[in-house]
């Protein structure tokens, strides 16, 4: 019974990740800001074409350093949405080309260094650009997110407090992502380790932890950084894992749960490309997936968490991930023939799917029957 519920949730998750490409615009009337809005700021539908039209309308002269950097960031954002959070070799080549043009036109500028960071991230060398950009202008808001992930990479608590506080005060994080972060942290058992996807889930959770002092018992690991041996080593030691350091990120995730005493979870935001590799060893616990065999009280815990969730349906593409635990509960209620709970859950899921533009998706996957 438990494994069947898990199977449908992961199949649904695959569809949810693919559906991010067509996520509805959240702020279509927003005027162009000085900088491109990243995903963590709610810029879920902001495109390169919009950015270039704004530049052309505002300034008929040659592009400024800011224009060049904005254009690169818009290209990166679009590529991440199109490829479910990943950059293809072609995307990386384009970003490297654009970063080279920024550096040629404005060598050693703040914008050139930050362009270098985005072009090379998450390679360790990318963070040299972050420090150089910060040295050029430590007060620019664009530096906050890169320095926040840099702080996590180094596992420096003092810096995490500094940059998460700056993110809270000046980073313009979409408020819905904080509510979603609370739900994600509430899906993790005490002293758990949570493998996060990146910008939209990790950044808001770090703010919750280091700026607001919530759920400091949870260790949030950014799965994008696990390709760096130094980061893997820090996290392996931080979790007091036993055995030899894994050779790469996927092996790290696979071996971690059997090498430490702390419970290990995957953020639903990592998507099926990551979670699908371990689906035989995962259980839905809310907006997270727990490594390990199904437990007898899994459904009871999921029911309780579901009642308390903020259900931030205005959290862009990640809002659709709420449908995953909801679908698991609905399947369970149908299996035990609890018509009252099944009917109520179906109605709630229907409303959530309508709000997030996923109604057809639920019908296609048999979650909604009529």
Q: Are residues 233 and 165 part of one domain?
A: no
Q: What total number of domains does the chain contain?
A: 2
The encoded tokens of residue 302 equal 């999921």
From residue 336, give the alpha-carbon distance in Å to each of 269, 296, 304. 29, 15, 18
Q: Are residues 220 and 162 part of one domain?
A: no
Q: Are residues 178 and 166 part of one domain?
A: no
Write out pLDDT tens, residues 69-81.
999 999 998 888 7
Q: Over 90: is that where the pLDDT of 113 sits? A: yes
Q: Are residues 162 and 227 part of one domain?
A: no
Q: Are residues 162 and 41 part of one domain?
A: yes
The strand pairing partners of 221, in sequence order, are 195
Give the Cα separation of 92 and 79 in Å (integer). 9
Q: Are residues 61 and 130 part of one domain?
A: yes
Q: Are residues 343 and 235 part of one domain?
A: yes
Q: Are residues 138 and 54 part of one domain?
A: yes
Give the Cα separation of 147 and 341 in Å (integer). 46
The domain in which residue 355 lies consists of 2-21+174-364
- Whether residue 30 lies inside any domain: the answer is no
- Whether residue 284 lies inside any domain: the answer is yes
- Whether residue 318 lies inside any domain: the answer is yes
- Whether residue 370 lies inside any domain: the answer is no
Sheet bearing 219-222, strands edge to edge: 219-222, 193-196, 264-267, 288-291, 282-284
Give the Cα separation of 344 and 352 in Å (integer). 12
Q: Does residue 302 contact residue 286 with C-beta atoms inside 8 Å?
A: yes
Q: Are residues 189 and 116 part of one domain?
A: no
Q: Are residues 162 and 178 part of one domain?
A: no
Q: Are residues 219 and 75 part of one domain?
A: no
Secondary structure class of 157 (helix, strand, coil): helix
- Whether residue 28 lies inside any domain: the answer is no
Q: Are residues 290 and 324 part of one domain?
A: yes
Look at the block and give the residue holding tokens 């409303």: 351
Of 170, 198, 222, the residue that ends a domain is 170
Beta strands (DSSP E) in 85-202 are 193-196
Count the neighbouring beta carbons within 10 Å of the beta carbon of residue 120: 18
Give the Cα separation of 227 and 63 in Å (integer). 35
Q: Does residue 114 contact residue 136 with C-beta atoms inside 8 Å?
A: no
Secondary structure class of 266 (helix, strand, coil): strand
- Whether residue 84 lies inside any domain: the answer is yes
Of 146, 170, 194, the residue that ends a domain is 170
- Whether residue 13 lies inside any domain: the answer is yes
Rounded to 5°, angle at Cα 366 from 18 and 369: 130
What confidence score (pLDDT) does residue 81 get?
Answer: 77
% of the chain residues with pLDDT over 90: 72
Give the Cα separation of 177 and 204 in Å (integer). 6
The encoded tokens of residue 94 equal 């384009």
What confidence score (pLDDT) does residue 46 get?
Answer: 54
Q: Does residue 298 contact residue 33 with C-beta atoms inside 8 Å?
A: no
What confidence score (pLDDT) does residue 19 get?
Answer: 35
- Whether residue 117 lies inside any domain: the answer is yes
Rounded mean pLDDT, 272-298:
88
Rounded mean pLDDT, 220-236:
97
Of 153, 170, 187, the residue that ends a domain is 170
Write out pLDDT tens, residues 52-107.
555 555 555 788 999 999 999 999 988 887 777 778 999 999 999 999 999 999 99
Rounded to 5°, angle at Cα 167 from 154 and 26: 125
């Amino acid at each position: 019974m438990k494994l069947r519920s898990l199977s449908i949730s992961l199949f649904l998750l695959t569809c949810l990740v693919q559906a991010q490409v067509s996520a509805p615009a959240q702020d279509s009337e927003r005027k162009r800001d000085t900088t491109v809005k990243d995903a963590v700021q709610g810029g879920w539908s902001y495109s390169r074409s919009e950015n270039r039209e704004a530049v052309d309308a505002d300034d008929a002269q040659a592009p400024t350093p800011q224009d060049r950097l904005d254009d690169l960031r818009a290209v990166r954002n679009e590529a991440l949405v199109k490829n479910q959070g990943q950059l293809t070799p072609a995307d990386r080549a384009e970003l490297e080309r654009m970063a080279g043009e920024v550096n040629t036109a404005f060598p050693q500028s703040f914008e050139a260094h930050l362009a270098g960071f985005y072009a090379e991230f998450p390679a360790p060398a990318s963070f040299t650009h972050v420090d150089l950009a910060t040295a050029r202008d430590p007060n620019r808001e664009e530096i906050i997110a890169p320095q926040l992930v840099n702080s996590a990479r180094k596992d420096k608590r003092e810096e995490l407090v500094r940059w998460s506080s700056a993110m809270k005060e000046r980073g313009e994080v979409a408020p819905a992502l904080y509510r979603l972060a609370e739900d994600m942290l509430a899906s993790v058992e005490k002293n758990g380790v949570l493998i996060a996807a990146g910008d939209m889930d990790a950044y808001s959770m770090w703010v919750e932890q280091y700026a607001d002092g919530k759920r400091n018992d949870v260790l949030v690991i950014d799965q994008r950084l696990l390709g760096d041996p130094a980061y893997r080593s820090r996290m392996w030691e931080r979790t007091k894992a036993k055995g030899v350091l894994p050779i790469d990120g996927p092996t790290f995730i696979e071996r971690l749960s059997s090498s430490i005493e702390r419970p290990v979870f995957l953020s639903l935001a990592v998507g099926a490309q990551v979670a699908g590799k371990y689906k035989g060893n995962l259980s839905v616990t809310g907006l997270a997936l727990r490594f390990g065999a199904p437990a007898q009280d899994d459904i009871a815990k999921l029911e309780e968490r579901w009642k308390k969730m903020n259900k931030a349906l205005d959290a862009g593409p990640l809002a659709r991930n709420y449908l995953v635990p909801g679908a698991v509960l609905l399947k369970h209620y149908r299996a035990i023939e609890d018509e009252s709970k099944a009917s109520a859950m179906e109605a709630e899921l229907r409303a959530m799917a309508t709000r997030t533009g996923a109604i057809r998706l639920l019908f296609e996957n048999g979650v909604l029957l009529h």
